[in-house]
Structure 1
Amino acid sequence: MARSSRLLQGTTGSYVDLLTVLKAGQDAEAPQKKKRKLNATSTPPNLPVPNKDIEDSNADSSKVEEDAPVEEEDHEVGDADSTSEDSDDDGEQSEDSFRQHFVTRDAEELSRFAKDPRQAKKSPAVLLDDTIRRSWIQASNDSKEPHRAQQIEDLHLKQRLVTKGAHLLHSLNTVQRDLAGAVSSYCDVVAAIRTVQNASVLRNICMLHALNHVYKTRDLVLKNNAKLSQSDGDGLGEIRDQGFTRPKVLIVVPTRQSCVRVVESIVGLSEPQQQENKARFLEQFSQDDDEDWHQKPEDFQELFGGNHGEDFRLGLKFTRKAIKFFSGFYNSDIIIASPLGLRRTIESGSKKEEGDAAQKVQDSDFLSSIEVVVVDNASALQMQNWEHVEFVFQKLNLLPREAHGCDFSRVRHWYLDGHAKYLRQTIVLSAYQTPEINSLATEHLLNIAGRVQYTPVYEGALTEAPKRLPFSIHQSLLRFEAASVAAEAEARLKMFTSLIVPQLLRGGDSLRGVLIFAPTYLDFSSLRNHLTSALERTAVSFGHVSEYTPVKEVNRARSHFMNGRYGILLYSERAHHHFRYRLRGVRRIVFYGVPENPLFWTELDKRRVRALFSKWDTLKLERIVGTERVSRLLLEKGSDTFDFV
């Protein structure tokens, strides 16, 4: 095992040497036929001690829901005892996107693509329903643009999913049918069209596809097992239908309650006869909404309602009749987790014996064979810590450190060649597009099948703000120049200190009700330091509220701002995202940068608004001023000030 482990770490191209070495020890290390037993299993000798978070999926999985009887034996994916009778084989169809993408994929074509995977060609955007722009990015010459799902046959579903799938498809609008067709074609999808109203529909589309992928993977293995058992391996040639490890679908969500919604979607679509550990899952992951939050905006309630814990992971294992919650990651088909939960699991690692000392190493092998990734509510994940998301994607589809009982004679060639990332499908659902999401797509969404992007046509948040208030609002945007992204922070601060601050201080002692909105914590810190020094010789006092400010200090700052003791209140965007404070006493707002979330522009009551922007704020600016106006604000030469009344 140690020898195969070292070779796996060093392999970068051909798999010939890998198979040669592993076959030499095949008799000693060949995986045994597995039968599920209810008693505890022991750790084989000479293997690293497993990480408890990975093996137990964050909990002891021996407890079973009382009303769900347990079968003495069930057939798992890849079990040698499983037969075709346990599969839901619907027959092989050459047009099936699963077969075209994973089974019949041309190895030479994939090898050519792997040498230069970033030569994509973007087609002009197509307008759907006059509200959504759809862009097709062709990854290779053989990439085929996906078609809209018009009928249930277009989704190529397993028979057990057809009824639920047909009901779902019937309820979809034009844009959602187009997205369903793109998802089922196995191309990458970046959809910045997620709202509170359509979140459940988009989730159901993705979970239907994830279940279909799990079932097709399982049934292909079972069918090949039956062929091997009947023929004793003679005359069948090479059968390669597996990855290094069992997990095939990774679902990344921001909170425990959003994990509950994903599970509800999976259960509703698959309708299993048994759900083991379901009661325990609901106890640990689900909570009732806080009654005090009913006055909060609906997007806040959808994200933070119920259990909004951000550190979790869950393994789901599918058998013929049941779904098992809290299965060990290496025995799971679907993993649902937060970026923070995954990172902590990976970094906690496993113990590796080296001489007399035990050393911990990172263990991300359970992500080595992920074929479908769903990132739900990516805009909310960015408000947590986007670095965790990038960390997880860096660990996907790496060659494993250990064999984990893998039968390498059935591992697909492109896994052994390290090309799995070029076949992995990634689906990103977000409320809006950001540079971070675009960077993730450029760096990690390398699917040979291409990519589809969905972006709304924006009316502009500044047109919505006056509709909510009984008085007129003067909205002004000030443009400044920055040669690069690196130089933008300094240029923005210079614009603020030379133009905005002097105008504010002209009010002297009478200055009150000024809210300064900082987009990032770095901006918040810079402004706090500058205001401290700039106002120390004046009669103007200011308070500050960030996502890290203690509750007691927040209450004091809000109270002093409302009664005028603080003329200025410095407020961070993440504080507003996480708490949605209702700030009283606001007379004017200065947006140090346009907010990432356009809803924030309309939520804060005010009579006068000023905002700074540069060309590097294009995505955010479009959501504020609208798709039609954004080019004029960026390119107009006559003036750098734009007023909207």
Structure 2
Amino acid sequence: MSDTKEQYGPVAGVKRQKKSKFGRSELRSITRTSRRTGKHDNENEKNHEGLEEEDLEEESLEEENYEDDDHNDQKITIASKRANKKNNKMAYSALVTLLKSKHDIEEIKNSLKENNNLDDNSDDDDNSDDNSDDNSDDNSDEEEFVDAHEDILEEEDKIQDNIDYHNKFDSFNLHFNQEDEISKVINKYKSLPIKEKKLKLISKNEILIDNDNDNDDKYIKYRYGYPQICPRIIKDINTGSSLDQKLKYHNVKKKIQDKFTEFGDMNQLDIQLIESMFTYESINFQYSNNESIKSKYQDYYLLHAMNHLMKTRDRILNNNEKKTLYEKRIKEGNIDNNDNDNNDNNLEPEFRDQGYTRPKILILLPSRNFAYKVVNKLIKNLQMENVENKKKFKTQFFSESKINDRVYHSKPKDFEEYFDGNTSDLFVLGIKYTRKTLKLYSPLEQSDIIIASPIGLLKLYNKIESRNNNNNKNGKKNDKNDKNNEGMKNNFLSSIEICIIDKADGIMMQNWSNITDILKNYLNQIPKDFINIDFSRIRMWAINGENEYLTQLLCFDKYTTPEMISLIKNSKNILSGSTSYIPIESMSIIDSTNYKFYKMGLINKFERLKQLFMRFEFDEKNISNEPIKRFEFFKNVILPQIINKSSYKFGTLIYIPSYFDYLRIKKYLNDESSLSFVNIDEYSTNSKLTRNRALFKNKSNQATIMLYTERLHFYKRFDIKGVRNVIFYQLPSDPDFYQQVLEFIANEKLRIESEKSKLKVEAEAIKDDDDEEDEEDEEDDMDLNLCMVRSIYSKLDAMRFGPIVGGDNVGRLVHGESEITEFN
């Protein structure tokens, strides 16, 4: 942000500089006479303006080359350059004529579109988005004019904002704009002893899900807060029963209210989740396998984000006009600040309505495919007249590739969801919202919404910091009067008010430390350089570096983990608190698995697959000691059972969620055990994966045991052949993985039965052969009663085994006298 008017007002912002292609800089140096920035500034602008177009594109697996500086197939001649320049001059002349004729803004925008189309058609290739970017230098004046008119507040919105300003029930006002109240609550929190600076459970409610399955599925809503410093959080306020009543009570924008009516009837889960968003509670929502809520929750948080941006925009533009009017009155001499008898209208107004930079919404997603879906939902919900760079966005983020077209065996539904389309995890995308236009690929510091992958965001920051360090070493100083200053490029997250972490389970499989790194080191950090900032417009809690007490965190995931729960509970959202929505399904994973095996004809009253859950104890005062106690339990209890009690000496698979545990077990079996084993993990080469799986399947003496990591299962979903025993070193993060791993045993049983059926005729013909062959037949037989399934757990694993064994059995596993619980 430079100043208020550069965010929302007559000035559209920094002029965009485009990446020079082969030969273009030389041509421009001859034909262009206007002032241009130096080489270093041009590099700086390229850095933050299009991460996908340069650094991230070069490092991703896809070969997207439309921004490559070394294009040999796209030749640019002086003649074509002059032709383009002539077209630009013609378009600009047409614009001047329109202005002199007092045509409306729509005709001006149509003129710009025709200009872009003319330039696009002059090239042989179809990369029209890239070509339109090349013309932005010549069209920047016209674009600024259009932006200025689009950021003029309509009279209706101005009147509504004046009304909203005094609305005591407006959630936006309550959470961000009540400066005195916010300051009091923050000071109270800071004065609390450390032991009392913890969220308190305010309420626990059941939410029944209305669906067509006639089951008893429900959600438990856990409400947390700081009632000792913010008493209003525990007040039982009647906001109405219907969603329409609740949205009106919280003063949600009329346009947003109308969009919610398009969703039709909603159940209580939808209504309570939406209200939690609009009251700025930090939320951890676990959508599990609920397809109804799963299809709509992204629309909910996008509409909440747009309501926030609309209110922010209207407030800033309205205050811009008020400030301009006040300055005009001073200039005309209509206000005497030295007159003590002047009424309140003569007092200098104070408009604290923003942060340091324009971006207010950060959405973190694991892959481009998910980003593509979210942006398209945003476009659909807003129904904007214009969406800039839409074609370029589709080219870089969309792929028609389907996982089932690339693999022989069908994969689970959640696997298709994560790995269909463009799976690149390197991207950062800025989106700017104006009254009639949604601008994709806007410069980050001029954007309202930033959509990124955690690793893409960190790579961008690392590049910016590296360049800044190189500049410091070379004695180059940043010009504080230069709006393109590199020092501002790493401040675009300094004023985020809503942070959304979507598909958090996928990000967990990538690397959760990326999330903690972003939240701790980059989100809402006070800028190091204050460039062109009007401090009279910055909210005091932002100036004091207290953003963390107000930022809303929204975390959406298929399943929850202690890391995700901790993230929300430690978010310090002291005014609105936090809420967790945890599903309680009527059928546990074990019951679902047994039912599926029964339908497959694998189990009956005579044949069962016994599943033992074995608890180990640890010192609860020293939680960090839990992994050591788990390993000792595995070494002293489980391994002897594998050696001495297993009916099958081959085919034991050990499932290990943590990579660190995997390395520990692998080292122990290598150094201190005589057991033969193979191991496969997410870092194994394809040849190693194929070789070790084949050895395990063929009952090689070198592969009686297989070590198998959770992340490998997430990314590959192999059908491991030859499995007869399963050891869960720790229960899976995703409850569905429990069933998928046990299906290895079921599939092995089916394969053996199929082979036996095919050889039945031959077996009848040779049944009088020697005993040795009979023994081999017995060895190839498989009885589920003899298969071993063991799950190691501690009290800390309740979140993992709850969905697997069912809520009614959690207490028995945690507090039961017996350390072994059997399910079959």
SS in 1 for 2:314: helix
- 2:281 corresponds to which letter in structure 1? C
Tell me how far apart the structure 1 counterparts of residues 241 and 432 of structure 2 sit (CA, whole Å): 29
Aligned positions of 1:179-578 closer than 5 A: 179-195=273-289, 197=291, 198-232=293-327, 235=346, 236-288=348-400, 289-290=402-403, 291-292=405-406, 295-350=410-465, 351-352=467-468, 353-354=471-472, 356-358=474-476, 364-394=490-520, 395-458=522-585, 459-469=587-597, 470-471=602-603, 472-483=608-619, 484-506=622-644, 511-536=649-674, 541-565=676-700, 566-578=703-715
SS in 1 for 2:639: helix
Tell me how far apart the structure 1 counterparts of residues 502 and 561 of structure 2 sit (CA, whole Å): 15
- 2:503 corresponds to which letter in structure 1? N
Tell me how far apart the structure 2 counterparts of residues 506 and 144 of structure 1 sit (CA, whole Å): 59
- The answer as to whether partners of 1:57 and 1:326 remain within 8 angstroms in 2 is no
- 1:555 corresponds to which letter in structure 2? T
Q: State the match for 1:641 in structure 2.
A: 820
Tell me how far apart the structure 2 counterparts of residues 547 and 39 of structure 1 sit (CA, whole Å): 42
Tell me how far apart the structure 2 counterparts of residues 188 and 39 of structure 1 sit (CA, whole Å): 36
Pairwise CA distance, 1:444 = 3.1
- 1:521 corresponds to which letter in structure 2? Y
Match of 2:178 among 99, 104, 107: 104
TM-score, scaled relative to structure 1: 0.87
Q: State the match for 1:34 in structure 2.
A: 11
Pairwise CA distance, 1:529 = 1.7
- 1:188 corresponds to which letter in structure 2? S
CA shift in 2, pair 1:452/1:43, >3 Å: farther
Tell me how far apart the structure 2 counterparts of residues 517 and 33 of structure 1 sit (CA, whole Å): 61
- 2:589 corresponds to which letter in structure 1? A
SS in 2 for 1:126: strand
Aligned positions of 1:159-198 closer than 5 A: 159-168=254-263, 170-195=264-289, 197=291, 198=293
Higher RCO (CA < 8 A, seq sep 6+): 1
List per-residue Cα deviations over 1:363-407 (Å, max 9, x = no partner): 641111000111111122111101100011112111111224322
List per-residue Cα deviations over 1:397-436 (Å, max 9, x = no partner): 1111122432222111111111122111111112222111
Does 2:277 align with 1:152? Answer: no
Pairwise CA distance, 1:438 = 2.4
Tell me how far apart the structure 2 counterparts of residues 33 and 164 of structure 1 sit (CA, whole Å): 30
- 1:506 corresponds to which letter in structure 2? N
CA shift in 2, pair 1:445/1:273, >3 Å: same
- The answer as to whether partners of 1:82 and 1:225 remain within 8 angstroms in 2 is no
Pairwise CA distance, 1:449 = 1.4
Moved more, 114-123 or 92-101: 114-123
Q: Percent identity?
A: 28
Tell me how far apart the structure 2 counterparts of residues 427 and 528 of structure 1 sit (CA, whole Å): 38
Moved more, 444-453 or 499-508: 499-508
- The answer as to whether partners of 1:543 and 1:570 remain within 8 angstroms in 2 is yes
CA shift in 2, pair 1:300/1:508, >3 Å: closer
Q: State the match for 1:598 in structure 2.
A: 735
Pairwise CA distance, 1:562 = 1.6
TM-score, scaled relative to structure 2: 0.69
Q: State the match for 2:220 in structure 1.
A: 133
Pairwise CA distance, 1:616 = 1.8
- The answer as to whether partners of 2:561 and 2:799 remain within 8 angstroms in 1 is yes
Tell me how far apart the structure 2 counterparts of residues 37 and 124 of structure 1 sit (CA, whole Å): 49
List per-residue Cα deviations over 1:573-601 (Å, max 9, x = no partner): 11111111111221120101111110011
List per-residue Cα deviations over 1:71-95 (Å, max 9, x = no partner): 9345899x79953228845442312
CA shift in 2, pair 1:418/1:262, >3 Å: same
Pairwise CA distance, 1:171 = 4.3
- The answer as to whether partners of 2:494 and 2:524 remain within 8 angstroms in 1 is yes
Match of 2:803 among 595, 614, 623: 623
Q: State the match for 1:19 in structure 2.
A: none
SS in 1 for 2:231: coil
Tell me how far apart the structure 1 counterparts of residues 145 and 315 of structure 2 sit (CA, whole Å): 13
SS in 2 for 1:229: helix
Tell me how far apart the structure 1 counterparts of residues 823 and 8 of structure 2 sit (CA, whole Å): 70
Pairwise CA distance, 1:148 = 7.6
SS in 1 for 2:731: coil
Tell me how far apart the structure 1 counterparts of residues 289 and 511 of structure 2 sit (CA, whole Å): 21
Pairwise CA distance, 1:46 = 12
Pairwise CA distance, 1:358 = 5.0
Q: State the match for 1:15 in structure 2.
A: none
- The answer as to whether partners of 2:384 and 2:436 remain within 8 angstroms in 1 is yes
Tell me how far apart the structure 1 counterparts of residues 660 and 155 of structure 2 sit (CA, whole Å): 57
Moved more, 602-611 or 29-38: 29-38
Q: State the match for 1:17 in structure 2.
A: none
User: How many residues of Structure 1 are paired with residues of Structure 2 in the alignment?
Assistant: 614
Moved more, 548-557 or 232-241: 232-241
Tell me how far apart the structure 2 counterparts of residues 210 and 355 of structure 1 sit (CA, whole Å): 41
- The answer as to whether partners of 1:36 and 1:72 remain within 8 angstroms in 2 is no
What CA RMSD, in Å, does the superposition of the two structures yield over aligned residues?
3.5
Tell me how far apart the structure 1 counterparts of residues 325 and 288 of structure 2 sit (CA, whole Å): 49
CA shift in 2, pair 1:369/1:48, >3 Å: farther
Tell me how far apart the structure 1 counterparts of residues 278 and 498 of structure 2 sit (CA, whole Å): 11
- 2:613 corresponds to which letter in structure 1? L
